[in-house]
Amino acid sequence: MKAIVYTRHGLPIENPESLVDMELPDPTPGPRDVLVRVHAVSVNPVDTKVRRGAAVTGPRVLGWDAAGIVEAVGAEVTAFQPGDEVYYAGSLTRPGSYSELHLVDERIVGHKPKTLAFSDAAALPLTSLTAWELLFDRLKVPEQGGHGRVMVVIGAAGGVGSILTQLARKLTGVTVIGTASRPETAEWVRAAGAHEVIDHSKAMKPQLQALGHEFADIVISLTHTDHHYPDIVEMLAPQGQFALIDDPATLDAMPLKRKSISLHWELMFTRSMYETADMVRQREILDRVASLVDMGALKTTVGEHLGKIDAANLRRAHAIIEGGRARGKIVLAGF
């Protein structure tokens, strides 16, 4: 099968050897695996972080978001059969989705939204799972609840922010304030459903107050948390909630004590990495998201389509993400 791999970590993305095309053997499904013929993928910051930082002794296939058609199933698979259209975010502990054929545990696979093309569907799994788990599993915001509460989403124009803003606006009563630093990203955040937009390149607390909110009850930081941390602590209400997904070099929790602020860290790969007892919840979330898409309540977050799945186009995608220029999700389709 065709695959895109890296064989040396840490190479700059401008180096043609940072990602290369390669032929690999076709994989064989284990008992709970579905074998998917990949039609489309999307690229996430985690793809670039692994390529830069995870050493390898042989070719490693990156990529986690994918949409495709089930080609074969393992002996214990009950939820899928060949021919089913699926989408999923995969596992950090297994080969990735930059390949024609891909193995994934059925418990973390969802049925693709019927109304979306494969490329539009591939934009959704990782970010939807992250956003859903953040909002409902970690922060415990109740569906149709949270009225009167104010939530600030830092980096709301990115992949996770684009779907998190939609979920919060459509499924809860919280007031959603997204952050963006450019006119085009601010407009993107408003289109996703944010009630207001503030600029994270400037002090955020005065902007929040100018909107009539003394504090935010919830702050979700999706990027550059270490840079924004003092502003976050200042913005948060006493007994507020702070959640993040990125990787600051350090995080001193002591500033949170004075206000009794709770800290919530989200990694959507936790369930698959540890095969938790509730691992199947990711299938349930993806199926619910698909239903909401097909009902017209949620929309895909594709920002740019870079063409077919090959090393050259994936290097372009990685460069856009590493340069902080992504708006929504970057997708590729077809081999």
Indicate the residue among 230, 250, 265 that finishes a domain: 265
- Do 133 and 111 belong to one domain? no
Indicate the residue among 265, 286, 303 that finishes a domain: 265
Indicate the residue among 216, 232, 265 that finishes a domain: 265
- Do 85 and 144 belong to one domain? no
- Do 172 and 106 belong to one domain? no
Question: In whole angstroms, what separates CA 270 from the centre of its chain?
Answer: 13
pLDDT in tens, 52-108: 999 999 999 999 999 999 999 999 999 999 999 999 999 999 999 999 999 999 999
- Does the structure show a pLDDT above 80 at 326? no
pLDDT in tens, 223-242: 999 999 999 999 999 999 99
- Among residues 117, 94, 122, the alpha carbon closest in space to that of 34 is found at 94
- Does the structure show a pLDDT above 90 at 306? yes
What tokens appear for 233 in the block? 């602590």
d(CA 52, CA 50): 5
- Do 20 and 91 belong to one domain? yes
- Do 234 and 105 belong to one domain? no
Q: What is the pLDDT of residue 224?
A: 94
Residue 208 in contact with residue 176, Cβ under 8 Å?
A: no
* Number of other CB atoms surrounding residue 145 within 10 Å: 13
- Do 141 and 109 belong to one domain? no
- Do 208 and 158 belong to one domain? yes
Question: In whole angstroms, what separates CA 161 from the centre of its chain?
Answer: 9
Q: What is the CATH number of the domain that holds 239?
A: 3.40.50.720
pLDDT in tens, 245-273: 999 999 999 999 999 999 999 999 999 99
d(CA 144, CA 252): 33
Count of structural domains, the chain: 2
- Among residues 154, 123, 104, the alpha carbon closest in space to that of 293 is found at 123
Its domain, for residue 188, covers 127-265
Residue 88 in contact with residue 35, Cβ under 8 Å?
A: no
Residues paired with 175 in a beta bridge: 150
Q: Work out the burial of residue 192: count CB atoms within 10 Å of its CB; fewer than 13 is exposed, 13-18 middle, 19 or more buried.
A: buried
- Do 102 and 136 belong to one domain? no
Q: What is the pLDDT of residue 159?
A: 87
Q: Work out the burial of residue 218: count CB atoms within 10 Å of its CB; fewer than 13 is exposed, 13-18 middle, 19 or more buried.
A: buried
- Do 148 and 228 belong to one domain? yes
Type of residue numbered 140: K
Phi, psi (rounded to 5 degrees) for 171: -110, -5
- Do 131 and 261 belong to one domain? yes
Residue 48 in contact with residue 322, Cβ under 8 Å?
A: yes
- Do 221 and 276 belong to one domain? no
Q: What is the CATH number of the domain that holds 11?
A: 3.90.180.10
- Do 294 and 236 belong to one domain? no
- Does the structure show a pLDDT above 90 at 324? no
The dihedral sign for the CA sequence 283, 320, 120, 3: negative
Q: How many helices (H) and strands (E) does the chain have?
A: 10, 16
C-alpha distances in angstroms, 12 versus 50, 322, 325? 13, 10, 17
- Does the structure show a pLDDT above 90 at 303? no
